[in-house]
Amino acid sequence: MKIGFHTDAFNSAYWSFEQCLTWAEKNDIHFIECGLIDGVSWIHGLGYQPHVALYEDPLLLRRKMENYGVRFSQVDAAFPLSGKDGPLYGVPYVLKAIPWAKHAGCDNVATTDGLHRPAGLSDEQAMKMMKHSYAQIIEVAQAYEICVNIEVHGYFTTNPDRLAQMLEFCDSPFLRLNMDTGNTYIAGQDPVAFCKRFLNKIRHVHVKDVSQSLADAARGEQTGIAVSQCAIGDGVNADNIRQVLLMLRESDYNGVLSMECEGAGGPMIEQSLAWLRNAIQNLPA
């Protein structure tokens, strides 16, 4: 298993993507995940956002990243596909992300549903719409040999029965799962049981803990956490993360464990990195 991080850890620090590359090199991390921006943004253009725009040349960016010893583990094109705007905005966004990812040397593109029940649609209507959307997306993903991962993050994906249906939308090895330890927990699920059920579908993993205060206030009420406000290992989800790591290792998972926690300019994510490295090293035989 390899360790990486999502650049959203440095949103609040207003870092640029290149600052994240520097941090990765300094901390001997060789995998990075970021969001994709479809268009232009003043805050990104001024260097205050740690994500990458689709107008940036992916091959030149790939070469720059190689100079830091870093490559993409996944790029995030997770505009919610479950609502009425999903086919209009989400599908074209993902379809642009797939060839961009191929040229950038990235094998994975993240997708997801919305945080809440979609307005104006029944659950069955939304599922039917998403099935059609994923059929379009996977047709392109197969051509580029890019894995499209459904991230556990929303109303449908944190429901294991619905997620099982979604993972069967297309009979393709290019439709897989991005497991998330924090989102499963905050949604009221058991991350260990969740991981066990979908173990053979997991392609990429988000590792995040949950603070006691957030768990007390929101567990079972929310479906996703943008960025955890506590270091990995400091929250109520730490033991679940250890068990998930053991399960992944025993299943010969050789993908990336992407840390998602508040970077705060460095200290909290550095603490998370030390904990995660130690946890992996000390998994029982």
**CATH 3.20.20.150 at 2-281, yes or no:** yes
For all residues of the chain together, what is the average pLDDT?
97
- Would the pLDDT of 263 be above 90? no
Query: Cβ–Cβ contacts within 10 Å for residue 75, how many?
Result: 26
Domain residue spans of the chain: 2-281
- Would the pLDDT of 265 be above 90? no
Joined tokens for residue 253: 């998972």
- Residues linked to residue 149 through DSSP beta bridges, in sequence order: 110, 176
pLDDT in tens, 96-144: 999 999 999 999 999 999 999 999 999 999 999 999 999 999 999 999 9
C-alpha angle 254-210-43 in degrees, rounded to nearest 5: 85
Joined tokens for residue 38: 């479809």
* d(C-alpha 42, C-alpha 49), whole Å: 9
Q: How many CA atoms lie within 13 A of 271 on its CB side?
A: 16
pLDDT in tens, 187-219: 999 999 999 999 999 999 999 999 999 999 999
Q: Specify the pLDDT at position 264.
A: 83
- pTM equals 0.96
Q: Specify the pLDDT at position 226.
A: 85
Say if CB 211 and CB 272 are below 8 A apart: no
Q: Specify the pLDDT at position 178.
A: 98
